[in-house]
Structure 1
Amino acid sequence: MEFEVIQGDIAAQSADALVNAANTSLRMGSGVAGALKRAAGSGIDDEAVAKGPVELGGVATTDAYDLDAEYVVHAAAMPPGGESTAESIRDATRNALAEADALNCESVVLPAIGCGIAGYDFEDGIRIICEEIAAFDPESLTDVYLIAYDDEGFETMQRVADEVQA
């Protein structure tokens, strides 16, 4: 499916679902999880932890609380304190898309799952995520966005997305 690369703070986005780059415990710490937790307000971390742990590559869904979304899909590409792999990034991305689609979402925003604190090479991880989005066959999803926080990340994401969608 087609998708668009955007730049900004994921916690400030408006969509049916926002995807959290989680670990298998689903405890929300720093990075994307920290940004979502701060903006969502109290409750999201407790709800997420109560739904964990999940398998590596697995997902769990919570309410979005004070975020401008209906749901947060927590996609676990790494174990707590561990690192992500190509397989875990691929599975977490595919499962996050499938979960948003199963929830009848039309729009979803995904971060660079498994590419930050999880330690996977950014460009290689983005290529995996872009390939999974491009290959996904949705029922309800029509607007899929891959979000970069900074200029450098945006440029890399856009270049890789263009190559994958060419």
Structure 2
Amino acid sequence: MNFDVVRGDIAAQRADALVNAANTGLAMGSGVAGALRRGAGAGIDDEAVSKGPVDLGGVAVTDAYDLDAEWVIHAAAMPRGGSATAESIRDATANSLERADELGCTSLVLPALGCGIAGFDLREGARIIGEVIAEYEPASLTDVRLIGYDGDEVATIREATREN
């Protein structure tokens, strides 16, 4: 499986599935969720909320609507109104990879789950995500990209994932 760190807006990425950094209630507010909601257009937030709540670390899948993807995997790395933990980031990442494989995806783009609004340290969160990806044995996934929004974020993610 090819793994890369890329820079950009997750809502502008092309892949079979895009991962949303969600809370357990699955309502799409700001940050990654807001970018995906704006890119997808009407319907995605209602569909996501209808599939929640999910357990911490759990995932739910919706259509990608107007995004250049088939699905959005909503990964709950944080509780509603709370903060992410190493365990919730690890579980949300692993469950996202597994769900993408179950859907038959070959490509997946995910953000640094739990490292934005959820308050977890970016370097440590990226290290955990990279570790989960490195240990994962895919069924169909061949292209996994971890995305950062700006140059500093991408540099931190690249450095942290090289430690795996």
TM-score tier by shorter-chain length is over 0.9
Q: Give the drift of 1:2.
A: 4.0
Q: Give the drift of 1:162.
A: 2.0
**Paired letter, 2:10:** I
What are the Cα deviations for residues 93-120 of structure 1, in whole angstroms up to 9, with x where unaligned? Answer: 0000000011000000010100000011
Instruction: Say whether 1:106 aligns with 2:106.
Output: yes
Match of 1:3, SS state, is strand
Match of 1:57, SS state, is coil
TM-score normalised by structure 2 residue count: 0.98
Corresponding residue of 1:135: 135
Identity across matched positions, percent: 68
TM-score normalised by structure 1 residue count: 0.97
How many correspondences in the alignment? 164
Instruction: Say whether 1:39 aligns with 2:39.
Output: yes
Q: Give the drift of 1:161.
A: 1.9
Corresponding residue of 1:160: 160
Structure 2 unaligned residues grouped into runs of 5+: none
Kept after mapping to 1: 8 A contact 2:124/2:160: no
What are the Cα deviations for residues 115-135 of structure 1, in whole angstroms up to 9, with x where unaligned? Answer: 000011110011000000111
Corresponding residue of 1:63: 63
Residues 2-21 of structure 1: pairs in structure 2 closer than 5 A: 2-21=2-21
Cα RMSD, aligned residues only: 0.7
Q: Give the drift of 1:159.
A: 1.1
Alpha-carbon distance in 1 for matches of 2:129, 2:82: 19
Match of 1:163, SS state, is coil
Structure 1 unaligned residues grouped into runs of 5+: none
